[in-house]
A and B are shown apart, each in its own frame.
Chain A
Amino acid sequence: MASTRDIRRRIKSVKNTAQITKAMQMVASAKMRKAQLAALAGRPYAQLMNEVLAAATAGAGEFSHPLMEKRPVKRRALIVITTDKGLCGALNTNLLREVSRYDGTTLFICAGKKGAQFVSRLKRDLAAEFTYRDTPAFAEARTISRFAQELFLEGKVDQVDVAYNNFISTLTQRPEVRTLLPLGEIKKLDADLSGESQGEALLPSEAKEYLFEPGAPAVLGNLLPHYLNYQVFQFLQEAKASEHSARMVAMKNATDNAKQIIKDLTLEYNKMRQASITNELLEITTAQMALG
């Protein structure tokens, strides 16, 4: 049985751990708020961009762009957006379970270290690894998206998917796989964090005839890549919001568990202390009785 000193030592170490997890929880919740706000602020832009693009592709008539070309899928690329660090519960595990369904020929593009580690552990084809910061910058998304577009345009892959954690609420993040390329019909982006489906009715149903200046190919040629860049940007933001909220929840659980352990240990410690005091008292009284 552990001595009182051992228990005291354990209580101290658990307390330290609790302090660390508590600090991480606070940091994560502050970052989460920021990430959520950032994702929310981008909503009008995403919505408008969708409307514009939907109107443009509908109004452009017979128009196709190399990025919209549908080919028989021989090889896929998958952009995996994970976190850099662990300690965020089952977030990465859930996502990577989806990822592992892809067959051996898939080309992987990773954003975040965890995904890259996973891919190299499985000895799959890792095309590139990107990093992104706590507040994803548009330039970072652009680099990733451009890389994928190049692969697609060169014919190295025939489809590009994205796997990321969709932020639903602080408590739920759902791993999702979306097709990025070829660009099909322009659908409403899941820009809304709260999951409400606003703006659906705003998509123009009747095709307006648009005039393009300088010309449809030129305008759409610039708009489509920009749209993709923006979409990747949004995926990164979602992933970040998911990461911080998952970490916050995981750390909160850890803190709660640590507190419970401290409580149990303290109880045991006090019991032991009392037992030893009782023992001592008994010894003293017996000794007195023997003397008297």
Chain B
Amino acid sequence: MATLKLEIVTPEAKIYSEDVDMVTLPGVEGEMGIYPMHIPLMTEIASGEVCARKAGQDHYLAVGSGFVEITGERVAILTDMAIKADDIDEAKAEEARKRAEARLAEKLGDDEHATVQAALLHSMAQLKVKRRNRV
């Protein structure tokens, strides 16, 4: 069976690069599932969770917003954050979420607001992935 090469990179490092059977992405216009032989597609993703199915097993990752390039044999995700479910520290993420929420309540400049908003989304994505994994 054909496989997809899933690559996830951030400015800091290459987080994930493996052959998988299927990928689910948090697209800006809703979740989408990508199978091998998908038509070439270019899209944006929102902060959320990426699910990679490999040999019947689902692997979850938390990602920030970014861009995705999809070809028949490859899914390339460019994002500002990506963490594997196992590497997420729940307590830390929860704390980050609270901190970001508290900061959002203050009056901030446009730029700063966007940064804090992004941080909030990041921590929420991490929490979502972590909690789903436990159930």
Contacts and interface: CB of A to CB of B under 8 A. Distances in A.
Which label, helix, strand, loop or mixed, suits the secondary structure of the A interface?
helix
B76 A48 contact: yes
A230 interface: yes
A225 to B, nearest CB: 12
Interface in B1-38: 7, 9-14, 27-29
- Interface footprint category on B: 20 to 34
A51 interface: yes
Contacts of B27: 213
A218 B44 CA distance: 9
B133 interface: no
B42 interface: yes
A178 interface: no
B37 to A, nearest CB: 14
Contact of B11 (A42, A52, A210): A42
A278 interface: no
A49 B7 CA distance: 12
Contacts of B41: 210-213
Interface string A197-214: 000000000001111111
A41 B40 CA distance: 28
A211 B42 contact: yes
B80 interface: yes
Interface string A12-51: 0000000000000000000000000010011011001101
Given A45-B78, A51-B76, A56-B69, A208 B40 contact: yes
Contacts of B44: 214, 218-219, 222
Contact of A42 (B12, B39, B40, B67): B12
Interface in A139-154: 139, 143
A45 B29 CA distance: 24
B42 A45 contact: no
Interface in A209-229: 209-214, 216, 218-219, 222-223, 226
A55 B47 CA distance: 24
Given A52-B76, A219-B44, A230 B11 contact: yes
Given A55-B69, A230-B11, A219 B40 contact: no
Interface in B36-86: 39-44, 67, 69, 71, 76, 78, 80
The 8 A-B residue pairs with the shortest CB-CB distance, nearest first, are A213-B43, A44-B14, A52-B69, A211-B41, A45-B9, A210-B40, A208-B40, A44-B9
22 contacts: A38-B12, A42-B12, A44-B9, A44-B13, A45-B9, A45-B11, A48-B69, A52-B42, A52-B69, A55-B40, A55-B42, A56-B42, A138-B80, A212-B43, A213-B42, A214-B43, A214-B44, A219-B44, A219-B67, A222-B44, A230-B11, A233-B11
Interface of A: 38, 41-42, 44-45, 48-49, 51-52, 55-56, 59, 138-139, 143, 208-214, 216, 218-219, 222-223, 226, 230, 233
Given A52-B42, A219-B44, A233-B11, 19 more contacts: A38-B12, A41-B13, A42-B12, A45-B9, A45-B12, A45-B14, A48-B69, A49-B78, A52-B69, A59-B42, A138-B11, A208-B40, A209-B40, A210-B42, A211-B40, A211-B42, A213-B29, A218-B44, A230-B11
